[in-house]
Amino acid sequence: MQVKAIACELPATLGVALSRLSSADIVREAQRSGIVATLSNKTVWRWLHEDAIRPWQHRTWIFPRDPQFVSKAGRILDLYARHWEGRPLRDDEFVLSADEKTSIQARIRKHVSLPPRPGQPARVEHEYARGGAWAYLAAMDVHRAKFFGRCEQSTGIEPFNRLVTQVMTQPPYRNAQRVFWIMDNGSSHRGQPCVRRLKAAFPNLVPVHGPVHASWLNQIEIYFSIVERKALTPNDFHSLEEVENRLLGFQQYYENIAAPFEWKFTRDDLKAMMRKLHVQPTCLAA
């Protein structure tokens, strides 16, 4: 237990000039502290493996600083569960998740890519010429697994408005009672000016902004990660037009096989997470 406690400390608190600890570092610290006289690296690794403690790994994150984090996030979680302000959604009310995937380059490889062979993976030339880039704007109906997207030269208010118009002018959204649009706080759709602009164009549209720095709450990001893995990696194109054809073609392909994402994170999970992070009680009002 004492060795595991060392592994769960930041190196700075131990007075060690390291950014992270390895098994060998933990052994040396345990010996220096007088916990053990001798100890093998493999034994330490086995002990840590039991509790999935890996101090040599790290990931970046952003601490939730929005004072209304829980209330804003809670609204989105309610919509995923088909509720709004304590009431279930009607059959003619829909929930869409939208965002932009920026700077999708056309990397024109300087040598043709080679297919896989027995005992050898596919090979993609390292050097390439830049053939331009698209911004891919997309929206998904989270309960129907329907996808809408377009390629634009850049992001911005007008390109995003074109995506909204593309969706809202077709059935069933055109005549729906309400269409909730979940979005982040990017410059293309930020704050009350965005709310007023979208409501003026489409009175049945309800913009729902998430908390700042909480893209993980937006289901369109899951779709973007699938696009990156399945359609854009490796990035090997002959032209910018080919990138657009790939993106829109994959969008249609994926819609034909997709099912709604099984979202399991609830309001209870959110409150438990905030308590774990020791957020002040004033931030927990939902």
pLDDT digits (tens, 9 = 90+) for 74-98: 999 999 999 999 999 999 999 999 9
C-alpha angle 63-266-81 in degrees, rounded to nearest 5: 130
Same domain, 73 and 26: no
- Please report whether residue 121 resides in a domain: no
What distance in Å separates the CA atoms of residue 151 and residue 163, rounded to the nearest whole number? 10
pLDDT of residue 154: 96
- Please report whether residue 193 resides in a domain: yes
- Provide, rounded to the nearest whole percent, the portion of the chain with pLDDT above 70: 97
The β-bridge partners of 101 are: 136
Q: Residue 139 is part of which domain span?
A: 69-111+126-268
Query: Cβ atoms within 10 A of the Cβ of 274, count?
Result: 18
Is the pLDDT assigned to residue 261 strictly greater than 70?
yes
Is the pLDDT assigned to residue 281 strictly greater than 60?
no
pLDDT of residue 277: 84
Same domain, 34 and 100: no
**What are the distances in angstroms from CA 218 to CA 20, 29, 280?**
32, 42, 24
Quick one: pLDDT band at residue 258, thresholds 50, 70, 90?
Answer: very high
3-state secondary structure of 226: helix
pLDDT of residue 285: 43
* Mean pLDDT within 45-73: 92
Two tokens, residue 65: 């600083």
Is the pLDDT assigned to residue 55 strictly greater than 60?
yes
The number of domains in the chain is: 2
Same domain, 74 and 44: no
Contacts of 50 (CB under 8 A, 6+ apart): none
pLDDT of residue 134: 97
pLDDT of residue 279: 53
3-state SS record for 21-52: CCHHHHHHHHHHCCCCCCCCHHHHHHHHHHCC
DSSP classification of residue 207 = E
Q: What is the mean pLDDT of the chain?
A: 94
- Please report whether residue 279 resides in a domain: no
Same domain, 75 and 34: no
65 versus 178: the higher-pLDDT residue is: 178
Same domain, 41 and 76: no
pLDDT of 155-193, one tens digit each? 999 999 999 999 999 999 999 999 999 999 999 999 999
Is the pLDDT assigned to residue 282 strictly greater than 60?
no
Two tokens, residue 41: 């690296």
Report DSSP letters for 118-183, one per residue.
TTB--B--S-EEEEEEEEEEEEEETTTTEEEEEEESS-SHHHHHHHHHHHHTSTTTTT-SEEEEEE
Is the pLDDT assigned to residue 280 strictly greater than 80?
no
Give the phi and the psi of residue 205 in degrees, each rounded to 5.
Answer: -90, 135
What distance in Å separates the CA atoms of residue 189 and residue 218, rounded to the nearest whole number? 14
pLDDT of residue 284: 44
CATH number at residue 193: 3.30.420.10
* Residue 141 amino acid letter: D
